[in-house]
Amino acid sequence: MSLNNSPAWKRLTRLAAPSIETRLPEWLTTTDRFERFSFRVGHLLVDLSKQRINQEILDTLFELTAERDIQARINDLFSGSPVNFTEGRPALHAALRAPRSDRPARVAQDIEETTHRILGFADAVRSGGWCGHSGKTLTNIVHIGIGGSHLGPELAVQALQSAASPRLTINFVANVDDGVLQNAVAGLDPDRTLFVIASKSFTTLETRLNAERARSWFLERVNVSEAMARHFVAVTANVEAAAEFGIPATNVYPLRDWVGGRYSVWSAVGLPVALAVGGQGFSELLAGAQTVDAHFASAPAPENVPLLLALAGIWNNNFLGVANHVILPYSDRLKLLPSFLQQLEMESNGKHVNHAGDDVGVHTAPIIWGGEGTNGQHAFHQLLHQGTRSFTADFVLIANSQAAGTDHDRWLLANGIAQSQAMMSGQTDPDPHREVTGEHATTTIVMDSLTPHSLGALLAIYEHKVFCQGVIWDINSFDQYGVELGKRLARPIFDQLAGRPALGQDASTRGLIESIRKGEPND
Ligand code: F6P
């Protein structure tokens, strides 16, 4: 039966129209609304009370999850069944943070060894036990990787700055734009620099090119190829390619095919995080995620936070017709959260066919975007308040930041809460230019504080939310074939930009190639 013909789907469709007729502020007039629709997991509070939901809607959403047999799918995820069904692989990111006894047997030993090696290496670099070739301690880390091999580590390093070693600088290089690498190495002492090349495939063009430039930069200055063994490490599933590049096997930290790139910050890809906050800090990140895994695996649907977030998203996206979901962290330290979630949600659930290869028949992932508050209030929030587009938003607030109790901190929190209020209630005004319609449903997540533990929990909540939505849409959240097309098309264009005739191209592409070539300086 197609998804939109299921009994629960049809009932939800019938519930949608009356729910829009009731103004959002009216949903919040019952005194116990917050108690009923806010939930706790670990050190996080998730407030869904500003969502357009009531018990009947939630119960019908639970029926939908029962129709999709969600508990069995959750068990599949944790037990290592091939939930990545197009590639015939499990998605075992949760095993990376599970207690040893809870890991599927076939990966338990491997995870144990790799985690031990990463934490040991990170602590050795931090303590000076691992030095550069000339005996100097390493103080600069340059991490080269893109997509899932970049976004999680940079987010976590930035988020956990206050727990990070002040002795180490960590620069991230992802884009193939040459200036990024040049800026990252500018002024660095090569004798004190460690390059981490993170690429599951070790064939990703951007990472390969940047890694080659980094190697040239290093060898031009150090001039001893054996020195690479003290200054280059790789995180990859492709040990041969790393060896060919010049990184000895002892410096390779394995990443297995059962971990998707965007789910890999818990693996060796998290090495920069371990370098920043130490082995203990990294273990706490894993422990925070594990708290959520345990909750997700066993909490009944009415209390299951990742599932509830997923269902709120499905309700808004599929029944209330909202195509935009905005991520609004009210913390500069979480400013990369929107980019991270963009990849997590859009690469995972930006799919249009179901398990059987048939059209899903309903919308899948919304457009995810966002930015940190309060900066966004002085930029794009105008459209949110008075534009014509519908959207939902997640606010992420930190109750006890480092600046807790200061006016700065109170203003930051006050603005976050006020924005969610404004989006809900709007304002009436006789002057239409001043009227704000409101009626935008939002979720607010309050982290007790921003620590490795709470960050791990936050990211795991979103991972499992994405999984639940993928189950409901019956799509594969773990492949990303769509990104291959652009890579394939770029090859001939690269050659044509370098001088080959732009044959076989459409008129626009040919015109662009030729006009860029005409603009090139003469040899
Ligand atoms: O092109 C998309 C993608 O495959 C992402 O899914 C992945 O995280 C990224 O590229 C980087 O891939 P790799 O780790 O193999 O370099």
Binding site membership of 376 for ligand 1 (Cβ less than 6 Å): no
Per-residue b or e along 203-228, where b marks 16 or more CB atoms closer than 10 Å to that residue's CB: ebebbbebbebbbebbbeebeeeebb
- Cα–Cα distances (Å) from 63 to 12, 71, 464, in that order, read 10, 12, 19
Per the structure block, which two tokens stand in for 346?
């859009």
From the CA of 261, how far away is ligand 1's center (Å)? Answer: 6
pLDDT attached to residue 159: 97
Q: Report which residue type is found at 230.
A: R
Strands, sheet with 324-329, edge to edge from the N-terminal-most edge strand: 38-41, 44-47, 442-447, 392-398, 324-329, 367-370
Q: How far apart are CA 270 and CA 260, in angstroms?
A: 13
Q: How many CA atoms lie within 13 A of 422 on its CB side?
A: 17
Which ligand 1 atom is nearest residue 198's CA?
Answer: 14
pLDDT attached to residue 522: 53
Residue partners of 375: CB distance under 8 A and separation at least 6: none
From the CA of 186, how far away is ligand 1's center (Å)? Answer: 26
Q: How many CA atoms lie within 13 A of 32 on its CB side?
A: 3
Residue 326 parent element (H or E): strand 324-329
Binding site membership of 149 for ligand 1 (Cβ less than 6 Å): yes
Q: Are 276 and 165 in contact (CB under 8 A)?
A: yes
pLDDT in tens, 308-350: 999 999 999 999 999 999 999 999 999 999 999 999 999 999 9
Among 420, 427, 426, 421, residue whose Cα is nearest residue 438: 426
Residue with structure tokens 């010049």?
A: 246
Binding site membership of 204 for ligand 1 (Cβ less than 6 Å): yes
Predicted TM-score (pTM) above 0.95: yes
From the CA of 326, how far away is ligand 1's center (Å)? Answer: 24
Angle at 78 between CA 72 and CA 83, to 5 degrees: 70
pLDDT attached to residue 165: 86
Task: List the catalytic residues.
Answer: 347, 378, 487
Query: Atom 13 in ligand 1: which residue has the minimum CA distance?
Result: 199
Among 268, 184, 279, residue whose Cα is nearest residue 234: 268
Q: Which residues of the chain have pLDDT under 70?
A: 520-523
HEC string for 395-444 = EEEECCCCCCCCHHHHHHHHHHHHHHHHHHHCECCCCCCCCECCCCCEEE
Residue partners of 216: CB distance under 8 A and separation at least 6: none
Cα torsion through 257, 263, 269, 272, rounded to 10: 180
Binding site membership of 477 for ligand 1 (Cβ less than 6 Å): no
Binding site membership of 230 for ligand 1 (Cβ less than 6 Å): no
**DSSP helix/strand/coil, 146:** coil
pLDDT in tens, 484-517: 999 999 999 999 999 998 889 999 999 999 999 9
